[in-house]
Each structure stands twice: as structure tokens, then as C-alpha cells.
Structure 1
Amino acid sequence: MYKYPKLILTLMMIVPWFSLVFFGKTAFKRFLPASLFISIVVKFECYIAKKRKWWWFYEELHPKLSRDTPLIIGPFFVGSLWILKLTYGKFKEFILFNILIDSFFTYYLMNVFQKLGLGSLVRLKRLNLSLLFIIKSLLLYYFQYVKDRYIDDREVG
């Protein structure tokens, strides 16, 4: 078990935001609503996961923050922005990229999380976690598609 799990969680929450310096204001405005939407979906999913003991996070940053917060507002939120920016409008690339990233998280980083004493899967198999990631990916893409097509009235691409 690692000595400083709170430091790791803090860094995990903050460091991804530094990458947005390279993101661009227009792209940020365009993809922000979809990333917020999917982050809210993940927050709700984590509520269900806690009740059903799908996974467990061992450490918390603060008593008023849920244990999943660093992961959601750090790599998940910022990652959703980047995935949309890099692959939106190219559905096959979007799916492939998501499968690669999600598999890396599910089959490698979950082991790292467990070794560092940050969290682990409890009643959820890795395959089921992968399926949840795919469903969220599709929801993210669909939300952006609807936003672009019916709300923004701008062309996809």
C-alpha cells in the first residue's frame, strides 16, 4: 500500500486540467456540455455502484467529497473533452479510441489502483466494467451529436 493516497488522488484530480492549455477555447465550449452530461451520468452510476458494491474507493480527499470525485472531475471529465475533440465525427475512431482507453483503465489501472490502496472492483467483473464504459461512450457521442445537430445548428465534423 502506498503511503500518500491523498496526494495521488489530488494529483489525479488536478493534473489532467493542465492539458486543457492546449485544447482551444472554441473546442472547449463545443464539447463542455457533453462532458458535463457524461460526468453527471458517471456520478449517478457511482451512486448505484456504491449501493450495489460494484467497486470501492478506499480513500477520500475530504469528508464532504465522495470518494469517486477525483476520478470523475479529473481524468474522466478532461478525458471526455479530449476524446471528443480528437475523434468526434469519426465514429469508428471514436469507438476504437474509447475501447483502447477503457481497456487500459479496466485491465491495467484497476490493478494499479488496488496496489496503491485507492480502490478495487468488488461485485463487478472487468468485462461488465468494460460494457459500462462502452455504454457511456455511446451516450457521450449521442449527446454531442444531438447538441450539434439540433441545438447548435452547425455541421458535424
Structure 2
Amino acid sequence: MQRYLPAAIGMCLYLVGEGLYAEKKKWMWYPVSVKPNALIGLPLTFGPFLVGALWIMKYTYGKFKHFLILNIIIDNFFSYVVMDWFKKINYVYLVNLSKFKLSLVFLIKTFLLYLFQIIYDKTVYKKDQHL
């Protein structure tokens, strides 16, 4: 799983930047007054997202079709079920982003994660194998 850690952490850092952008565009609203508001999402980013990315990569990397299908299922579950629950518990509300658009944003991240791993494998991981 160590092999996938750089790509997963890279995506987490991307998510932090995306969160700051999302705050400017008012994609979401967090009722808690922490500034910047995007910091409220850090526990999700460096918790379930990081762990999920590692496990998904471990079991599906190299089988892109499986990777894509699994991510679509998980991302849509998050967009349509978990986001309703978050709204119910007063954690976060979608404002200028529909659930469908949120799913598309997740889909972009799915491709980026896979691309990050391909780049890592072609540059760093292969070199480490020859040492």
C-alpha cells in the first residue's frame, strides 16, 4: 500500500486547494464558523478519502475498468446519500453545486488519482525497483 501513498497524499493536497476554490465559488456552506471554511473538510480529506484512495488503488490499480466502476459507485453514494446525511446533521450544505455536479467533480478526481499513480510509477517507483 506504500506504493500508492504519494498519489493518495497528492490528491489530498489537491482536495485542500479544491476546497479553497469551492469556498470562493460557494459550492458548499458549512454552518460552523471556521475560517477559511474549507478547513472543515480536512478530517474527511485526510481520513476517509485518504484511506479509501489507498484501498481502492491497492485492489484495483492496473484494472482501470474496475477502478472506475468502484469509484463511480462510491462517489455517487457520497453525493446522493452521505451529502443528505451531512445536511440532516447540519454539517455541510450544497449551495452552488448540485449533487450531479458534485459527482462529476468526483469523477475528475478519480481520473486525477489514477493519473498521479501512473506518473509516480513511471518516474519514481520504477527507479526504486532498480536499487
TM-score by length of 2: 0.89
> Aligned residue for 2:69?
96
Are the equivalent residues in 2 in contact too, given 1:58–1:67 (CA < 8 A)?
A: no
Offset of 1:146 from its aligned partner? Answer: 1.2
Query: How far apart, CA to CA, are the structure 2 residues paired with 1:74 and 1:59?
Result: 19
Give 1:80 deviation, angstroms.
Answer: 0.9
**Is 2:84 the partner of 1:135?**
no
For 2:43 and 2:91, how far apart are their aligned partners in 1?
11
Tell me, in whole angstroms, the C-alpha distance in 2 between the residues paired with 1:63 and 1:45. 15
> Residue 111 of structure 1 aligns to which amino acid in structure 2?
D
Structure 2 distance, partners of 1:46, 1:66, is 8
Query: What pairs with 1:32-111 in structure 2 (closer than 5 Å)?
Result: 32-59=5-32, 66-111=39-84
Equivalent position to 1:150, from 123, 126, 130: 123
User: For the residues of structure 2 that align with 1:122 and 1:144, how far apart are their CA atoms?
Assistant: 32
Q: How far apart are the structure 2 equivalents of 1:39 and 1:122?
A: 23
- Give the share of equivalent positions with the same residue, in percent: 42
Task: Flag as ranges the 4+ runs of structure 1 deviating above 2 A.
Answer: 57-60, 62-65
Q: Given that residues 79 and 99 in structure 2 are in contact (C-alpha distance below 8 angstroms), is that contact kept between their aligned partners in structure 1?
A: yes
* Larger helix proportion of the pair: 2
Question: SS of the counterpart of 2:85?
Answer: helix
Equivalence for 2:93: 120
**Partners of 2:35 and 2:120 in 1: how far apart?**
36
Unaligned runs of 5+ in 2: none
Unaligned runs of 5+ in 1: 1-26
SS at match of 1:39: helix
- Deviation, structure 1 residue 63: 7.1
Q: Which amino acid aligns with 1:76?
A: F
Aligned length: 127
User: SS of 1:153's equivalent?
Assistant: helix
